[in-house]
Amino acid sequence: MSDLKQIAPATFLLPQEGSMKVPGLVIATDELLREIEIDRPLEQVRNVAFLPGIVGYSIAMPDIHWGYGFPIGGVAAMDAEQGVISPGGVGYDINCGVRLAVLPRPFSSFDERKRDELLRAIFERTPSGVGQEHKNQALTDTDYRNLLEKGARWSIEQGYGFAEDLEHMESLGCIEGASLDAISRTARDRGRRQLGSIGSGNHFVEIGEIQKIYLPEIGEAWKLFEGQTYVLIHSGSRGFGHQICQDTLDLFMKKGFAENLPDKQLVAAPIRSPEGEAYFQAMSAAANFAFNNRQQILAGVRDAFHAVAGIAPRDVRLIYDVCHNIAKFEEHEVGGKMRKLCVHRKGATRAFGPKAKELSPVYRKTGQPVLVPGDMGRASHLMVGQGNPLTWCSACHGAGRARSRIKSMDAWRGKDPIAHMRSQGVQVMASSKKTVSEEMPDAYKDVDAVVAATQQAQLAKMVARLKPSLVVKG
């Protein structure tokens, strides 16, 4: 930490040394740096700077914590022709991401009985927990080919949502270049019955109210109001994406791509190699699986609101869906010239500003919504991207863990975490109390501090604070 030099508000430089090809850049405040167990994540920031073809900086967001190879909260851009692509820079849960929807009614309009019914109805419609699946549907290889080609549009064509949903998703809910031929039979089999399911760990469906709007002009443009009911969904590509990552890591290790790297978990193939291209095809497939997964989870939530409260599914309006574990080809300015880069965001969210051509017309005037889940007790945030080139138009993706899952479980051993959350005004329904113990609010950093640092660094602006009340966990 003593190596860090502040160069701008909430922005610190980690000097280039040894065989690092670029310096490190850490987005944080002094307060956050004191709270984070920073040494291991900073070592990972340094290690990422060794990767061939990296440009700009090896970047850490204010929610940084230790991960596989790359830190979680890490961003790195590689030259599209000379650089490498790293599965550790994407993560095991490919296109783990978040989507936010809102209702036309205030949350206060649901009495306690309706809230109980809603929570149970959502829990029944969205399988959650380790290995949980939909028992009544299974993807064929033809289904796989169609959903990998079409992205979330495939689920909409199957009746899970509406065409206008696509304009409210990153990349319109589809990453181009996916190929089923790049996917192992094992990965296909693991994912066959998992569309529309949450999974375990930090994944959830959350219902609550918009507690505070900070930018009224953005709130008006996005048709938000204080007290409004919101739905926040956090899930990814389930066993399908996990297997793709593992298959690729095994192959890359076998090919010797980890040689000369400071950490073999960074193993990476040249982007333009057959192995690199095959991983991008497989990763894109997992990303499109995840878009479909969140689309079908939202369909289940819409159905629950309709069954319990008579709210039309179309009135549960999607605001946005963002990836936060992905590598994408984008054009950015480097040294005064536009270059095609492969931007790895692992535990980081794209945050394009106004007029960005990558955005759908719905958001070109305001900039992109940035979704920042916190914890199930305190708050989450909605921000708007500023398109800061320093971080390749990237921002934080959540609060970030302050305590490991094992330490959190130890802290809550012998206690009833669900009863504690109820005493705090939050109803939690889960398939496992163990998961709830791992995910208690004190396991996470203060999301208010994280988004404040993100705003100070001019990566994104705070739009609204969201207060959870009903939570479905794995």
* pLDDT value for 136: 60
Measured in whole angstroms, the distance separating CA 331 from the mean position of its chain's CA atoms is 21
* pLDDT value for 401: 84
Measured CA to CA, the distance from residue 4 to residue 186 in angstroms comes to 44
User: At residue 129, does pLDDT exceed 70?
Assistant: no
Domains of the chain: 5-473 (3.90.1860.10)
Closest CA to 320 of 247, 268, 372: 372
Report the predicted TM-score, pTM, of the whole model to 2 decimal places.
0.96
* pLDDT value for 435: 86
What rounded mean pLDDT belongs to the chain? 95
CA distances 450 to 28, 278, 313, 398, Å, are 8, 36, 33, 8
User: At residue 132, does pLDDT exceed 80?
Assistant: no
Residue that is written with structure tokens 């010797």 in the block: 256
Bridge partners, residue 11, by sequence: 8, 27
How would residue 131 be classed by pLDDT, with cut points 50, 70 and 90? Answer: low
* pLDDT value for 254: 97
* pLDDT value for 449: 95
Measured in whole angstroms, the distance separating CA 220 from the mean position of its chain's CA atoms is 25
Average pLDDT, stretch 253-264?
95
> Letter for the amino acid at 221?
A
Backbone angles phi, psi at 166, to 5 degrees: -60, -35
* pLDDT value for 1: 59
Q: Which residues are catalytic?
A: 397
* pLDDT value for 451: 97
Reported as a single tens digit per residue, the pLDDT across 296-332 is 999 999 999 999 999 999 999 999 999 999 999 999 9
Cβ atoms 451, 459 nearer than 8 A: no
Sorted by sequence, the CB contacts under 8 Å of residue 337 that are 6+ apart come out as none
User: At residue 195, does pLDDT exceed 70?
Assistant: yes
Reported as a single tens digit per residue, the pLDDT across 21-73 is 999 999 999 999 987 778 899 999 999 999 999 999 999 999 999 999 999 99
* pLDDT value for 402: 81
pLDDT top residue among 231 and 199: 231
How would residue 294 be classed by pLDDT, with cut points 50, 70 and 90? Answer: very high
Residues across the chain:
474
* pLDDT value for 184: 97
